[in-house]
Structure 1
């Protein structure tokens, strides 16, 4: 997937500019719903710690709830639905120029029903930049 992105980027901006963009990029990997369920079944220690899937679900939901409450305190007013369309079902290609979008995108945690918004990525980027600067200065 990343290789196809590089090829597409090179075709748009050229080899030199593409490499400049990639070398200065921050890459964020976002774990989704399938990652949570797969971790329960593929990591043996998870089943020892949480013998039933319902206990593991409760653990995940509690952590997610705490995370969303913290984000709300940072200015994200809508943390349960995306900015695109209804915010519940649309994702990827279903969010396009013909889809309605929210008025104030900076208050939305998600752009569509799965992917974080630009405001979310900016917040994460700022946190990482601060941590990296502190680490380098130490």
Structure 2
């Protein structure tokens, strides 16, 4: 079932690039990111509230809060740089380079989380890197 959510994530991530490119015409990329963040804030809290997930807020540990906070900072910085890149470049190129995050996540998962690196995963990461290089060069 996880792959259904991953495919939906990819679909909506692709739509982010298209909608953002159109919506940012004549708008500062940082302002565009701020507007998008406010919308996400309401959507995410609305979903959490209506699904009853906010009931577990008191169960969060210090470690949960630290790493979720760091994840939020990384997300914000990613969005700021992504929107700026979209403003300056073509969607196909920006989105492709952005997907290097998949290869980086594979490397980070092996180095920092101790996850196993299979041949299939390594080949997939190398294909992503190679494809990105082809599109950039």
Structure number with the higher helix fraction is: 2
Q: Select the structure with the greater relative contact order (CA < 8 A; seq sep ≥ 6).
A: 2
Greater CA radius of gyration, 1 or 2?
Answer: 1
What TM-score, normalized to structure 2?
A: 0.30
What TM-score, normalized to structure 1?
A: 0.30
Structure number with the higher strand fraction is: 1
